[in-house]
């Protein structure tokens, strides 16, 4: 016996063909572009990245070129209020106590600082998130992983770096050159010693999230743990990760400067913002620009990342995005 198919209910039929669904990333972008701070932050970051990358081609002065006769020049803007200041058009941001050009150093220092900051931050973010999510989600390895975190939290960074330098500097120097080798070493050490707070925080969030109904639902329809982590957990722990990223960038730049300050960082003829700042502190009274310029650059970069992070978080959170 066959029943004839019931007639379609008029109210439930589509009156017109469905619109092309908006892609998720279009939504993300439209939300992101509404966030002025985020746009500004992203714009500034792009600008500073381009500036440090292309700067040396525009401002061709060698940052290491010593010009002892033109030492201790002030930036040209000081001439506005102090007509007696020693300034020169050739050195718009002045020179240091050995006559090295301020602008060229700022660009070269930015290259190093940005590279170290981003690389170390991404490394620590990657390790931290991975350890945090895994130990929060899989109860079996939670204990060992968290004890490993305790171990890393208690390792003193200075001896660790000295050990790393002793063991790995020569092979890295042979393969990547003196500066490249040191770069890899420093980025790794900063990354390896700064992922623990991120891991702890992410784990805490995951512990709470995985008891929520939507995870239970996902699990009940047979979603694999990997998919659950990817689709449901990671997007929900994005905001603490973003905060860690912002703080991590600043910490990495500053840790690098402290290391250079202690003599285990880059060679002395390799400027970074943090090191320029540290070196200039004793002359803060007479040459405030030498501390202020790198200091402002670090702050602005960190602020830029922070706003970008805020915007990204809002844009990626489906609950906020709709509104």
Partner 1 sequence: MKMKTLLLGAAASFALAPAAMAERGSDGNVNIIYWQAPSIMNPFLSGGTKDIEAASLVIEPLGRYDPTGALVPFLAAEIPTVENGGVSEDLTTITWKIKEGLKWSDGTDFTAEDVKFTGDYCMNPEGGCAQLAKFTGVQSIDVIDPLTVKVTFGAPTPNPYGPFMGGQSPILQKAQFENCTGAAASSCTDQNFAPIGTGPFVVTDFRPNDVISLEANPHYRDPAKPAFATVNFKGGGDANAAGRAVLETGEYDYAWNLQLAPDVLAQMSEGGKGVPVAAFGTLVERIEMNMTDPSPDLPEGERATVAHPHPFLSDFNVRKALSMAIDRELLVEVGYGQAGRATCNLVPAPELYASETNTDCLVQDIEGAKALLEESGWTDSDGDGIRDKDGVKLSLLYQTSTNAVRQDFQALIKDWWSQIGVETELRNVDASVFFGGDAGSPDTFQKFYADVEMYANNFDGTDPQSYLSMYRCGNEPKPSSQWQGENINRFCNEEYDALLDELAMTGELDKRGEIAKKLNDIITKDTMTIVPLVDRGRVSAHSNSLGGVALNTWDSELWNIADWHRID
Partner 2 sequence: MLTYAIRRLVLSVPTLLFISFAIFMLLQLAPGDPMAQVPLTVPPEVKEKMRQALGLGEAPLVQYWKWLVQMFWIEPQVLWDNWFGTSFSEGKLRVISWQTRSPVMDIVIQRIPQTLWVVGLSYIVGVLIALPIGIYSAYRQYSLFDQSGTFITMIGFSIPPFFTGPLLIVIFSVQLGWFPSIYDTTLVVDSWAAFKVQLQQMIMPVMVLALQTTAQLSRYMRASMLDNLNQDYVRTARAKGLSEAVVVMVHVLRNSMIPVVTVIALGVPAIFGGAIITENVFKVNGIGQLLITALFANDLPMVMTLTFIFAFLIVLFNLIADILYGVLDPRIRYD
Choose the contact partner of 319 out of partner 2, partner 1, none; CB within 5 to 8 A by kind.
partner 2
> Does 254 sit near partner 2 (CB under 8 A)?
yes
Residue 217 within binding range of partner 2, rule CB under 8 A:
no
3-state helix/strand/coil string of the chain:
CCCCCCCCCHHHCCCCCCCCCCCHHHHHHHHHHHCHHHHHHHHHHHHHHHHHHHHHHHCCCCCCCCCHHHCCCCCHHHHHCCCCCCCCCCCCCCECCCCCEHHHHHHHHHHHHHHHHHHHHHHHHHHHHHHHHHHHHCHHHHHHHHHHHHHHHHCCHHHHHHHHHHHHHHHHHHHHHHHHHHHHHHHHHHHHCCCHHHHHHHHHHHHHHCCCHHHHHHHHCCCCHHHHHHHHHHHHHHHHHHHHHHHHHHHHHHHHHHHHHHCCCCCCCCCCHHHHHHHHHHHCCCCHHHHHHHHHHHHHHHHHHHHHHHHHHHHHCHHHHCC
Q: For residue 97, state whether it binds partner 1 (rule: CB under 8 A).
A: yes
Residues 291 and 277 sit within 8 Å (Cβ to Cβ): yes
Select the binding partner of residue 163 from partner 2, partner 1, none (C-beta < 5 to 8 A, by kind): partner 2
Q: What angle do CA 109, 263, 176 make, to 5 degrees?
A: 65
Cβ 280 to partner 1, closest distance in Å? 11
Q: Which residues pair with 95 in a beta bridge?
A: 101
Among 109, 191, 197, 265, binds partner 2 (CB under 8 A): 197
End-to-end CA distance of the chain: 52
Residue 258 within binding range of partner 2, rule CB under 8 A: yes
- Smallest distance, Å, CB 131 to partner 2? 14
In the Cβ-directed half-sphere of 245, how many Cα atoms lie within 13 Å? Answer: 21
Taking the complex as a whole, the smallest distance from the CB of residue 115 to partner 1 amounts, in Å, to: 20
User: Among 178, 204, 288, 295, which residue interacts with partner 1 (rule: CB under 8 A)?
Assistant: 178
146, interface contact from partner 1, partner 2, none, CB < 5-8 Å by kind:
partner 2
Site for partner 2 in 129-148 (CB under 8 A): 143, 146-147
User: Judged by CB under 8 A, does residue 46 bind partner 2?
Assistant: no
Q: Assess 194 for contact with partner 2 (CB under 8 A).
A: no
**Residue 84 near partner 1 by CB under 8 A:** no
Could you tell me how many residues of this chain bind partner 1 (CB under 8 A)? 27
The single residue among 12, 267, 319, 322 that binds partner 1, judged by CB under 8 A, is 267
Residue 68 as a binder of partner 1 (CB under 8 A): the answer is: yes
Interface with partner 1 by CB under 8 A: which residues?
64-66, 68, 72, 97-98, 100, 162, 165-166, 169-170, 174, 178, 262-264, 267-269, 279, 281-283, 285-286
Site of interaction with partner 2 (CB under 8 A):
37, 143, 146-147, 149-151, 153-156, 158-160, 162-163, 166-167, 196-197, 200-201, 204-205, 207-208, 211-212, 239-240, 242-243, 246-247, 250, 253-254, 257-258, 261, 274, 277-278, 281, 284-285, 291, 295, 298-299, 301-303, 306-307, 313, 317, 319-320
């Amino acid at each position: 016996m066959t029943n004839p198919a019931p007639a379609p209910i008029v109210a439930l039929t589509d009156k017109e063909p469905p619109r092309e669904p908006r892609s998720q990333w279009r939504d993300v972008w439209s939300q992101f572009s509404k966030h002025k701070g985020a746009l500004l932050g992203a714009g500034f970051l792009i600008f500073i990245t381009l500036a440090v990358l292309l700067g040396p081609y525009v401002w061709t002065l060698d940052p290491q070129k010593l010009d002892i006769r033109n030492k201790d020049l002030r930036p040209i803007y000081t001439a506005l209020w102090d007509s007696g200041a020693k300034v020169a058009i050739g050195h718009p941001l002045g020179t240091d106590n050995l006559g090295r050009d301020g602008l060229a150093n700022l660009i070269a220092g930015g290259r190093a600082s940005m590279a170290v900051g981003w690389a170390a931050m991404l490394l620590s973010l990657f390790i931290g998130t991975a350890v945090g999510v895994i130990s929060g989600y899989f109860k079996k390895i939670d204990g060992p992983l968290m004890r490993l975190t305790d171990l890393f939290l208690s390792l003193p960074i200075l001896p660790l770096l000295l050990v790393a330098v002793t063991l790995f500097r020569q092979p890295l120097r042979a393969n990547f050159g003196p500066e490249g080798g040191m770069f890899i070493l420093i980025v790794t050490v900063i990354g390896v010693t700064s992922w623990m707070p991120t891991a702890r925080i992410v784990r805490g969030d995951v512990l709470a999230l995985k008891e929520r109904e939507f995870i239970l639902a996902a699990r009940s329809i047979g979603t694999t743990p990997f998919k659950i982590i990817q689709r449901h957990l990671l997007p929900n722990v994005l905001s603490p990760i973003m905060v860690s990223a912002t703080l991590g960038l600043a910490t990495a730049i500053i840790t690098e400067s402290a290391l250079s300050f202690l003599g285990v960082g880059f060679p002395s003829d390799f400027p970074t913002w943090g090191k320029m700042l540290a070196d200039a502190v004793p002359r803060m009274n007479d040459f405030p620009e030498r501390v202020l310029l790198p200091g402002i650059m670090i702050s602005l970069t960190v602020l830029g990342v922070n706003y970008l992070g805020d915007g990204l978080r809002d844009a990626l959170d489906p609950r906020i995005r709709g509104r």
